[in-house]
Amino acid sequence: MEEEPTQPPSQPQFSWDHFVDYLSVQEAARILGVSARSVYGYIAKGKLPATRMGERILVKAQDISVFERSAPGRARTDIPLWHVPPLRNLQYLTTITVRVLPGQGELLERRLYEFRATQKHRLPGTAARYIVRNEQDPGEIAILLFWRSLVLPPADERADSIAGLAADLADVLDWQTASLREGLVLLHA
């Protein structure tokens, strides 16, 4: 009697279709606007669910869309003291107040997000930079630039940096309404 050839048990077919809704850690980081290291940290702490596929770690796109980052740092327990800037490293403040062009508020926010994502307009010599929307008048924006004298670029370089920022925001801010003030910081916290 002849034996019938045995067939190996059927293996389930692998398909990448199951993973279409997943993102790599690098893609998740880009969407969240953080580093890949931060995403790995969220996964390790259980804040962001993930799936391991061989050597890769994948995150569901849906989980990224609802993920809320916590505020960085820890809550202050002490109120910071006033400080006088050292004479060898004085601080200066440039304040620019400008109006948002009508209907351009959303485009302004997208543009600012783009600046952050691409690290554009870091303004060499600044120790801190703020772009603030006035709560009482949402059509008014204040740009605050804090400079340190040890790394303070010459006035023409500072003006060129500010002009570059203004040029990239020319379609969303009305620079005809801009007012620029500069001052020496006397106290800071």
Q: Specify if 7 maps to a domain.
A: no
Angle subtended by helix axes 36-44 and 25-32, to nearest 10: 100
Q: Specify if 1 maps to a domain.
A: no
Domain shared by 152 and 103, yes or no = yes
CATH number of the domain at 53, please.
1.10.10.10
Separation of alpha carbons 155 and 159, rounded Å: 6
Q: Specify if 3 maps to a domain.
A: no
Domain shared by 107 and 21, yes or no = no
Look at the block and give the residue holding tokens 């008048």: 137
Q: Which residues, including other chains, have CB under 8 Å from residue 31's CB and lie 6 or more apart? A: 23, 64
pLDDT digits 0-9 by tens, 73-125: 787 889 999 999 999 999 999 999 999 999 999 999 999 999 998 999 999 99
Question: Looking at residue 71, what is its pLDDT?
Answer: 75
Q: Specify if 75 maps to a domain.
A: no
CATH number of the domain at 109, please.
3.30.70.100
Q: Rounded mean pLDDT of the chain?
A: 89
Number of domains in the chain: 2
pLDDT band, residue 184 (cuts 50/70/90)? very high
pLDDT digits 0-9 by tens, 149-165: 999 999 999 999 999 99
Domain shared by 33 and 93, yes or no = no
- Average confidence (pLDDT) over 35-56: 92
Separation of alpha carbons 166 and 40, rounded Å: 37
Domain shared by 179 and 94, yes or no = yes
pLDDT at 16 over 50: no
Question: Looking at residue 76, what is its pLDDT?
Answer: 80
Say whether 38 sits in a helix, a strand or coil: helix
Structural domain for 28, as ranges: 16-66
Tell me the sheet residues that pair with 162.
none
Question: Looking at residue 11, what is its pLDDT?
Answer: 58
Residue pair 168/111 in contact (Cβ under 8 Å)? The answer is yes
Domain shared by 35 and 120, yes or no = no
Percent of the chain residues past pLDDT 70, beyond the cut: 89
Alpha carbon of 87 to those of 11, 84, 124, 135, 176: distances in Å?
A: 75, 9, 21, 35, 36
Domain shared by 43 and 91, yes or no = no
pLDDT at 1 over 90: no
Domain shared by 145 and 92, yes or no = yes
Question: How is residue 11 written in tokens?
Answer: 């293996």
Separation of alpha carbons 180 and 189, rounded Å: 23
Question: How is residue 125 written in tokens?
Answer: 């010599």
Separation of alpha carbons 156 and 142, rounded Å: 21
Greater model confidence, 6 or 164? 164
**Least confident window among 4-13, 83-92, 108-117, 128-137:** 4-13
pLDDT band, residue 68 (cuts 50/70/90)? confident
Domain shared by 58 and 136, yes or no = no
Domain shared by 30 and 99, yes or no = no
Domain shared by 126 and 159, yes or no = yes
Alpha carbon of 162 to those of 15, 80, 96, 176, 180: distances in Å?
A: 52, 30, 10, 15, 11
Domain shared by 178 and 128, yes or no = yes
Question: Looking at residue 2, what is its pLDDT?
Answer: 59
Q: Specify if 80 maps to a domain.
A: no
Domain shared by 164 and 113, yes or no = yes
